Chains A and B, each alone.
Chain A
């Protein structure tokens, strides 16, 4: 059998590039995470102190973890369900399918900076559209500081994430639905199954692999949440500038890592420790959801 030789040959291009451009830099970062290093003063070895400090001394680390998980819980389920439903609705259309498909994908290709600017524009205290509308119709008596209250800030970030990402989920689900053997749909139609029944009896179970894939990747993406809050609270597009938003309510793990490593300070060793801790959390959660989905199967 040739099978022993070919998979390795097929793996070589990826592995070479992976080793060069990912593995080495990642290992280097891990090495740095064991040091107190800011790029200016000589680095000195501190062992696991950076990791321990994260949990014992850093007031913001656990808060960032809490924020990240919270915003993820607010957005991820909505994203998956909305993506699946829209994909299915699109899939069952006979006319105008491609138009809707493209339109619903637009948010995902809108540059994050523009999204930040537009959302700032909508929710700005002073010139924002939302306050304008709400006060105009008498729902609010005076302008509300949407971007300056911790909970509304989190909600806005969650809305941004849903708005931007449901098109992506839709696209992945569409590619999965396309891959299902088309005869199954026909058979269901012949049996007289309605759209709703087909959806729950056929589409959802058959797309289980896609759903698991999306769940795991969306969770990884969710833990790495960064663009949306950052665009809302820093950079040229922001209406309001502060690291982490009001009371650090939308400071996510990656934002904290970024700010400690490349922003407010260059504590690279410490930053790397944040990223590796995050990696461990992501790993545990991904494995858990992977096994959970497998278990439900049997």
Chain B
């Protein structure tokens, strides 16, 4: 074991350097959150300062807990809905031959290529007609059909779900939904992790749409709430950085939980070798 570690020293070195570069701005965000805003510009903020509690109080008084709850609600539902539609649609496109397949594929690709901002006016009009403005649903619905996720699921199933697996299940008399959810889905943990993390993150950081459809503090999501921390003529960068830092936790946790799915395969092989 230790011999192997020694042999790989250069990998650790390269990764260490890159990781450091990756880490510094992220670290700075956390450190900046502990500073009194004006002190940020007096010197390099490398060490933790003493203004954490004050900044925390500021963020709390601007409704951080409520916004946190709202954002979690939005992202969790968005991820769940998006996973369902993208797995079923991806499965249909990856593993079946049917007439409309080409057409559907084009629809998916079109959706990916059009900038999402373009649909905002029509979308907001729909939300208004459906009386969903000023509710969190107005920022959730946009994630239910996510072409990127469909494309990703489709590619993943094509590459890594063998036909034989499904055929043998069919012979065993398994229903089609049964095959999908009992046999295919359990093999897709890396893809599910990836899509969940990304959709969670994207819906978590979404700004333009909530800015337009949400008009009440009690339904504000995190990015909206954070941009409102600074009042009028003094930017409270310290408190805003703290709020931003705190807002990355859920994504971090999801990724940490999911990250074990990426390495399952090789572990066995490496030990053997």
Which residues of A are in contact with B by a Cβ distance under 8 Å?
Answer: 2-4, 6-8, 10-11, 13-15, 17-18, 20-29, 32, 82, 86, 89-98, 100-115, 117-119, 121, 127, 129, 132, 163, 167-168, 171-172, 174-180, 182, 185-186, 189, 209-210, 213, 217, 220, 224, 226, 235-237, 254, 257-258, 261-262, 268, 272, 275-276, 278-279, 282-283, 286
Contact = CB atoms under 8 A, between A and B. Distances in A.
A262 B262 CA distance: 41
Given A111-B244, A118-B28, A220-B113, A6 B96 contact: yes
A25 B194 contact: no
Given A107-B26, A175-B191, A26 B156 contact: no
B247 A111 contact: yes
B104 A29 contact: no
Chain B: interface secondary structure? Answer: helix
A101 B260 CA distance: 10
Contacts of A254: 115, 117
A104 B114 CA distance: 29
Nearest to A284: B113
Given A11-B88, A189-B273, 13 more contacts: A3-B96, A11-B89, A14-B85, A17-B81, A21-B142, A29-B119, A102-B259, A114-B241, A167-B22, A175-B194, A177-B262, A186-B272, A276-B118
B25 A107 contact: yes
Contacts of A91: 263, 266
Contacts of A111: 205, 223, 244, 247-248
A26 B112 contact: no
Contacts of A22: 111, 119, 145, 147
A13 B176 CA distance: 16
B13 to A, nearest CB: 10
Nearest to A107: B22
A89 B85 contact: no
A261 B23 CA distance: 36
A175 B262 CA distance: 5
Contacts of A235: 227
B172 to A, nearest CB: 15
Interface residues of B, number: 107
A209 B160 CA distance: 11
Interface in B251-271: 251-252, 255-256, 259-266, 268-270
B70 interface: no
Interface in B140-158: 141-142, 144-145, 147-148, 150-152, 155-156, 158
The CB with the most chain B CB atoms within 10 A, among A104, A114, A272, is that of A114
B97 interface: yes
B135 interface: no
Nearest to A3: B96
A210 B272 CA distance: 27
The CB with the most chain B CB atoms within 10 A, among A21, A127, A209, A224, is that of A21
B84 interface: yes
The CB with the most chain B CB atoms within 10 A, among A115, A118, A210, A254, is that of A118
23 contacts: A3-B98, A7-B92, A10-B96, A15-B104, A21-B126, A86-B18, A94-B1, A109-B252, A109-B255, A113-B223, A114-B244, A127-B41, A132-B44, A163-B25, A167-B22, A172-B194, A177-B262, A179-B190, A210-B159, A213-B152, A217-B112, A236-B240, A276-B118
B15 A25 contact: no
Contacts of A17: 81, 85, 141, 144-145
Contact of A103 (B19, B93, B125, B194): B19
A113 to B, nearest CB: 6
B47 interface: no
B94 to A, nearest CB: 10
A119 to B, nearest CB: 8
Contact of A213 (B86, B147, B155, B230): B155
A254 B106 CA distance: 22
B175 to A, nearest CB: 9
Interface stretch (B3-11, B49-57, B213-221): B3-11
Interface in B1-40: 1, 4-5, 8, 11-12, 14-15, 18-19, 21-23, 25-26, 28-29, 32, 40
Contact of B121 (A25, A185, A217, A224): A25
Given A7-B96, A275-B114, A25 B126 contact: yes
B168 interface: no
A168 B201 CA distance: 12
Contacts of A121: 28, 40
The CB with the most chain B CB atoms within 10 A, among A8, A96, A171, is that of A171
B44 A104 contact: no
B171 interface: no
B113 A286 contact: yes
B165 interface: no
B156 to A, nearest CB: 7
The CB with the most chain B CB atoms within 10 A, among A4, A94, A258, A276, is that of A94
B190 A8 contact: no
A118 B25 contact: yes
Contacts of B263: 91, 97-98, 101, 174, 178
